[in-house]
């Protein structure tokens, strides 16, 4: 059976690198559609445009206008395709407006050298059953954020004080993560995972929508099956903007994705 | 008098968002032209394309082929211009080939909110006179890397063991930095500073050219005059690739730029 993710990101090829998509209302959060889901739709189109390079290595997306559920178009243009990597420009549009413009370099992660010399440390999280399920969010939150139904997300209790009006001020949120339907996340799905957690500004006592200007994701390995650990941090809140760094670690203890986004601070 | 940087990045406007550039041989390193300099040339073209938004906020560049000194063309296309920010696509080409394709969002850093809540810690460096001047590099290095003449770069002695065959293995290089002609670095110049230091893989005992796949720079403030501190780190060397995170701090102790690039590991 197809996973919910595959269904929600399915595309209709229209030739010449053009694809039709249907943005599912299940990914709405607040007034818009989750940027990670949109990046996943774009990422899947790129994968179809360069079938010999199925995996994102790096994707940079610039968010131009807020998307709405419903029909969308993704156009892809192969800028260069070599033996091992291909670079592609892509745009997601709706109603004649560009929503997202992106650049991406794709390859095949299975054919990359297998050496690993990672000095980054895997996030330490309490056992899953001691973490706070996002499904415990109040009804009014869940009504405005149906995307919470897409995941099984268990937030480290040390990073969830903001939900009770007591943000830690550390600028750090980390959680266990898997899809609600139990399907494993693939490399294109990691593009979504990097933007799935609540904005790290919640932990700074700045609730509210934090519009993304730019999001770049590096995918470094095909994730092993099972639960992922996702960590978000910010270290530079200044000039009305903040950066959000995300790491995704797989069940084999491997750092499979790193992302950074630049977002506007919520007005508080 | 014009700074060397302004002269080397000067453009000839050809209308319709097109600009002519002349890549100066003084920025050669190894077999190619420094990617930070190229990004500066692209960044300057974007600034000229949207004059009401003179400063890069975020720029993502994908490197497609190696540039050579000499004539180049930069094409810019404004994707969206609002009241405070503009997003632009840009390409640098030579001899009919695209060298770099980029996306950028520009604004005016002087008009951004002045709040700062940075938790990142400023790099600790020995006094400038106790650091190792890049101009002390052996003659054969300086011959293949004329770009070293562009800077006054003083590397932390704790991070320069690789130059004597004893890399620390930490994946960390930091240095004091200013332009050789004493002119201060402006926001577009920061795009170059983020790719000016030797590859952080030198500190891992992996010398050699590390081709950049993608480089994204966030510029967060107009740098104060004077010496900059520049720090490069890598935390995830895997799959034949590594990420390189750069921070640039100004003389007022402000984190003015953050960048991350994905590069191919040098073959050792």
Q: What would the pLDDT profile of A238-257 be if each residue is shown by its tens digit?
A: 999 999 999 999 999 999 99
Which residue in chain A is spatially nearest to B65 when comparing CA positions? A80
Which residues of chain A are within 8 Å of residue B255 when distances are taken between CB atoms? 235-236, 238
Angular region, A194: left φ>0, alpha ψ -120 to 50, beta rest:
alpha
Of A58, A116, A262, the CB nearest to B262: A58
Contacts of B239 in chain A (CB under 8 A): 109, 112-116, 220-221
Beta carbons of A79 and B65 less than 8 Å apart: no
B79 vs A contacts (CB less than 8 Å): 62, 64, 98, 101
**Mutating which of B167, B203, B239, B260 best tests the A interface, going by the most A Cβ atoms within 10 A?**
B239
Provide the pLDDT for residue A268.
55
Residue B4, pLDDT > 70, answer yes
The partner residue sitting opposite A117, judged by closest CB among B85, B116, B238, is B238
In angstroms, the separation between the Cα of residue A147 and the nearest Cα of chain B is 28
Q: Return d(Cα A242, Cα A153) in angstroms, integer.
A: 24
Euclidean distance between CA atoms B136 and A216, whole angstroms: 37
Burial A19-50 (b: 16+ CB within 10 A, else e): bebbbbebbbbeebbbbbbbbbbbbbbbbebb
Domain that holds residue B132: 4-109+123-264
Residue B118 lies in a domain: no
Backbone dihedral angles phi then psi of residue A184, each to the nearest 5 degrees: -75, 155
> Out of B60, B87, B112, whose CB is closest to A239?
B112
Closest CB to B216: pick one of A120, A216, A265: A216
Residue A58's closest CA among B240, B233, B62?
B62
ipTM, 2 dp: 0.96
So what's the pLDDT on residue B258? 98
- Span B214-244, pLDDT tens digits: 999 999 999 999 999 999 999 999 999 999 9
CB-nearest to B103 from A103, A204, A238 is A103
A142 or A234, which is more confident: A234
Query: Are A57 and B85 in contact (CB < 8 Å)?
Result: no
Q: Is the pLDDT of residue B268 over 70?
A: no
Mean pLDDT of chain A: 95
Q: Is residue B210 part of a domain?
A: yes
Mean pLDDT across the stretch B3-12?
Answer: 98
Please check whether residue B185 lies inside any domain of the structure: yes
Any A CB within 8 A of B260 CB = yes
Q: How many CB pairs under 8 A join A and B?
A: 166
Output b/e per residue, B109-148; b: 16+ Cβ within 10 A: beebeeeeebebeebebeeeeebbbbeebeeeeeeebbbb
Which residues between 140 and 169 in chain B have a beta carbon less than 8 angstroms from any beta carbon of chain A? none
Task: State how far the Cα of A260 lies from the Cα of A247, in Å rounded to an integer.
Answer: 9
Q: For A27-40, write each residue's pLDDT tens digit.
A: 999 878 999 999 99
Instruction: Look at residue B117 and tell me if it is in a domain.
Output: no
Q: What is the largest CA-CA distance in chain A?
A: 53
Whether residue B115 is contained in a domain is answered as no
Please tell me the predicted confidence (pLDDT) of residue A233. Answer: 97
> In this complex, which of B58, B112, B116 lies closest to A262 when CB atoms are compared?
B58
CA–CA distance, B148 with B183 (Å, rounded to integer)? 16
pLDDT value of position B235: 95
Dump pLDDT digits (tens) for B73-131.
Answer: 999 999 999 999 999 999 999 999 999 999 999 999 999 998 898 899 999 999 999 99
Q: Is B205's Cβ below 8 Å from some Cβ in A?
A: no
Q: Is the pLDDT of residue A91 over 80?
A: yes
Give the whole-angstrom CA distance, residue B168 versus residue B183.
Answer: 33
Q: Rounded mean pLDDT of chain B?
A: 95
- Residue holding tokens 């919470």? A148
Note whether B64 contacts A80, CB cutoff 8 Å.
yes
Question: Which pLDDT value is given to residue A184?
Answer: 98
| pLDDT surpasses 70 at B63 | yes
Q: Work out how many domains chain B is built from and give that number.
A: 1
Q: Is the CB of B102 less than 8 angstroms away from the CB of A103?
A: yes
CB contact under 8 Å between A118 and B258, yes or no, is no
Identify which of A65, A105, A204 has the shortest CB distance to residue B62: A105
Let me know if residue A117 belongs to a domain: no
Residue in A86, A117, A223, A245 to test binding to B, most B beta-carbons within 10 Å:
A117
Residues of B numbered 212-251 whose beta carbons fall under 8 angstroms of chain A's beta carbons: which are they?
A: 213-214, 216, 218, 220-221, 234-241, 243
Quote the tokens at residue B136: 């002390």
CB contact under 8 A, A239 and B115: yes
The pLDDT tens digits for A145-199 are: 899 999 999 999 999 999 888 999 999 999 999 999 999 999 999 999 999 999 9
B28-29 and A97-107 strand pairing:
unpaired
The answer to whether residue B116 is domain-embedded is no
Give contacts of A237 with chain B, Cβ < 8 Å.
115-119
CB A216 to CB B260 under 8 A? yes
Interface membership of A78 toward B (CB under 8 Å): no
Nearest to B60 among A98, A113, A214 (CB): A214
Across the interface, do A241 and B216 touch by the CB < 8 Å criterion? Answer: no
The domain that holds A68 is classified in CATH as 2.40.160.210
Cβ(A194)–Cβ(A141) under 8 Å?
no
Test mutation, B39, B62, B77, B247, chain A, max A CBs within 10 A: B62
Q: How far is B250 from chain A (nearest CA, A)?
A: 14
Flag whether pLDDT at A144 surpasses 80.
Answer: yes
């Amino acid at each position: 059976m197809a996973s919910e993710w595959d269904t929600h990101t399915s595309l209709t090829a229209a030739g010449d690198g053009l694809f039709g998509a249907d943005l599912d209302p299940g990914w709405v959060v607040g007034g818009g559609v989750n940027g990670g889901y949109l990046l996943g739709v774009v990422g899947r189109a790129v994968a179809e445009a360069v079938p010999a390079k199925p995996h994102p290595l790096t994707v940079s997306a610039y968010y131009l206008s807020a998307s709405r559920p419903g029909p969308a178009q993704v156009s892809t243009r192969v800028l260069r395709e070599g033996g091992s990597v291909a670079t592609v420009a892509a745009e997601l549009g709706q109603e004649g407006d560009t929503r997202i413009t992106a650049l991406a370099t794709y390859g095949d992660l299975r054919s990359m050298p297998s050496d690993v010399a990672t000095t980054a440390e895997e996030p330490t999280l309490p056992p899953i059953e001691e973490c706070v399920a996002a499904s415990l969010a109040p009804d009014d939150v869940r009504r405005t954020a149906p995307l919470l139904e897409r995941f099984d997300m268990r937030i480290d209790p040390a990073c969830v004080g903001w939900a009770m009006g007591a943000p830690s001020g550390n600028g750090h949120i980390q959680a266990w993560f898997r899809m609600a339907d139990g399907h494993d996340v693939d490399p294109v799905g990691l593009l979504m995972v990097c933007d799935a957690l609540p904005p790290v500004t919640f932990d700074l006592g700045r609730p509210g929508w934090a519009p993304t200007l730019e999001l770049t994701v590096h995918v470094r390995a095909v994730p092993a099956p099972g639960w992922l650990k996702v960590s978000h941090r910010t270290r530079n809140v200044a000039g009305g903007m903040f950066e959000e760094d995300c790491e995704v670690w797989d069940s084999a203890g491997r750092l499979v994705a790193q992302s950074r986004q630049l977002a506007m601070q919520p007005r508080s």
